Amino acid sequence: MNITEAIRARRSIRRYKEGIRIPHKDITIMLEAAMMAPSSGNTRPWEFVVIENQDTIKELIDIHPYARMFRTASAAILVCGRPDLQPGVYGGFWPQDCGAATENMLLQAMDLGYGTCWCGLYPLEDRVKKVQEMFQIHSIPYAIVALGVPDQEPEARGFFDEERVHYIK
């Protein structure tokens, strides 16, 4: 699959086949793709928490009101920002950098045959604090990604909208 096909084929998956364990090597490949994302001044202001414990994954449903898909997910990957790694002129761009890392991870997961669903945490302070407490972390929880083998094939929801493009010639 080339990148054009991958971008157009990616979907947010909300139902996964249960009881499937994602091999460690595949998770590593996804995380490597995430860490290949561009970042301000190559500061790489991120860290990741891989959650495979099913009870812990299900606890996330209590924190995030739109995370019901975690009931069937095989794993979850928490993407966290580290603004402390962005000094001076590079500072403040960690949310964009974490977004680029998250999208790389989603595309890599799809290429490996997995489905994902990106659930935002930052900038909603109540979700951020609850996740920090749950995992005892000081970094800023940016997003939590559900991961598993898809048990659905949703239609595309994205589309090209010419009216949202302005050309300056």
Residue 58 C-beta-side C-alpha neighbours within 13 Å: 6
H/E run at residue 79: strand 75-81
87 is in which domain, residue-wise?
Answer: 11-151
- Read off the CATH number of the domain in which 60 is found: 3.40.109.10
Joined together, the tokens standing for residue 114 give 């997995």
Query: Which residues, 6 or more positions from 97, have their beta carbon under 8 angstroms from its beta carbon?
Result: 37, 38, 39, 40, 43, 44, 45, 46, 81
The full DSSP string for 36-72 is TS--GGG---EEEEEE--HHHHHHHHHH-TT-GGGGT
**For the segment 96-155, what is each residue's pLDDT rounded down to a tens digit?**
999 999 999 999 999 999 999 999 999 999 999 999 999 999 999 999 999 999 999 999
3-state secondary structure string across 30-44: HHHHHHCCCCHHHCC
For residue range 24-69, what is the model confidence (pLDDT) as tens digits? 999 999 999 999 999 999 999 999 999 999 999 999 999 999 999 9
Residue 76 one-letter amino acid: A
How many structural domains comprise the chain? 1
Residue 137 forms part of a structural domain: yes
For the whole model, what pTM was predicted? 0.96
| Residue 116: inside a domain | yes
